[in-house]
Amino acid sequence: MREFLTYHETIQGHSKKTVDEYFLDLRTFFRYIKIEKNRVPRSAPLEEISISDVDLALIKSVTLADIYAYLSFLSRDRVKNAKNPGAGFGLAASSRARKVATIRSFYKYLVTKAKLLEESPIQELDSPRMRQALPRYLTLDESIQLLESIDGDNAERDFCIITLFLNCGVRISELVGLNLTDIRGDRMRVLGKGNKERVVYLNAACQNAIEDWLEVRSRSGAVDPYALFITRKHTRITKAGVHYMLKQRFTAAGLDSSKYSAHKLRHTAATLMLQNGVDVRTLQEVLGHEHLNTTQIYTHVDSDALQNAAQSNPLSQIKTKPRRGRPKKAPQNEG
């Protein structure tokens, strides 16, 4: 398992956070399997089961039926939050799908890379079906409303952060990691998932917002001299700090802060670009998505577009009314 995790971090280039999630997924899975295979008493608390004795024999013994039983356990009996048992039971389909992907990747590694298995016992495993929900986003008017409401302390910084979210669609992890050296005129270097670099072009609004913020930033020292965005204490701003700031700004703008977040601003940027003519493949590059199907969740259409589609039907203007009365009989075919 350690070799599998090292492979994903060093060869596949996945972030430490992603690799940590892989480990947690596999640990929970093999804890469950140890119970199912009678390696430990069924009464043993799941969170206390050690996986240090998991061997190749146990790994080989896993069947497709075991995986389906595990998925049933996740959907019915697994606590939603191990730190808060009162949160309820049953993981969402998206969480279960991620765990399936981890297990499938682990067994694929054992077959194709480590050569410890001849075939994967779960190669026919299907991922849980997920409900496709449309991303929540701000309208153009709401976006302008949010920007125009920014004032007071840290106004230049917060305006710049929200402007980058709304215009560039960056992730919050990418934003807090930005350095001064990442800004080069109309270009911004972004370090995305898996340490993959991409260049995002800055429009006039972004350049002006950055220029205004840098003028303020230059007048205050910084504990981290490289960080683009800093706090009042002159330290690099954190994700938690951005989340807190956004909640304050949403509320001040008269928007429901429980419905919107940094990621919803990313949704907003993607939606506004698509609505104004950006094709989905270009958007894929802007957002830094590895797979096109990830970007395609943004190809939803709003209610105005649906209404226009209905009105565009050539039959939409037909005013003929149905005739009342009994229908005429078709003429008999004599002969």
Integer distance in angstroms from the first to the last C-alpha of the chain? 84
Percent of the chain with pLDDT over 70: 83
Q: Residue 93: its pLDDT value, please?
A: 79
Exactly one of 96, 249, 266, 267 is catalytic; which is it? 266
E strands of the chain, at which residues?
Answer: 183-184, 187-191, 197-201
pLDDT band with cut points at 50, 70 and 90 for residue 16 = confident
Q: Residues with Cβ < 8 Å from 288, sequence gap 6 or more? A: 171, 174, 190, 192, 193, 196, 198
How many C-beta atoms surround the C-beta of residue 187 within 10 A?
Answer: 12
Q: Residue 212: its pLDDT value, please?
A: 95
Mean pLDDT, rounded, for 112-141: 80
**pLDDT at residue 304 greater than cutoff 60:** no
Exactly one of 16, 187, 263, 281 is catalytic; which is it? 263
The reply to whether 329 belongs to the active site is no
Residue 99 host element (H or E)? helix 93-112
The encoded tokens of residue 96 equal 């279960």
The reply to whether 266 belongs to the active site is yes
The reply to whether 32 belongs to the active site is no
Q: Residue 291: its pLDDT value, please?
A: 76
The reply to whether 7 belongs to the active site is no
Q: What is the pLDDT of residues 169-222, one digit of tens each?
A: 999 999 999 999 999 999 999 998 877 899 999 999 999 999 999 999 988 777
Exactly one of 31, 171, 249, 267 is catalytic; which is it? 171
Q: Residue 6: its pLDDT value, please?
A: 94
Exactly one of 193, 234, 239, 264 is catalytic; which is it? 193
The chain-wide mean pLDDT, for the chain, equals 85
The reply to whether 14 belongs to the active site is no
Q: Residues with Cβ < 8 Å from 127, sequence gap 6 or more? A: 97, 100, 101
The reply to whether 233 belongs to the active site is no
Q: Residue 205: its pLDDT value, please?
A: 95
Return d(Cα 206, Cα 278) in angstroms, integer.
Answer: 18
Q: Residue 87: its pLDDT value, please?
A: 52
Q: From 111, 28, 121, select the one nearest 71 (Cα to Cα).
A: 28
Mean pLDDT, rounded, for 150-167: 95
Exactly one of 22, 109, 260, 298 is catalytic; which is it? 298
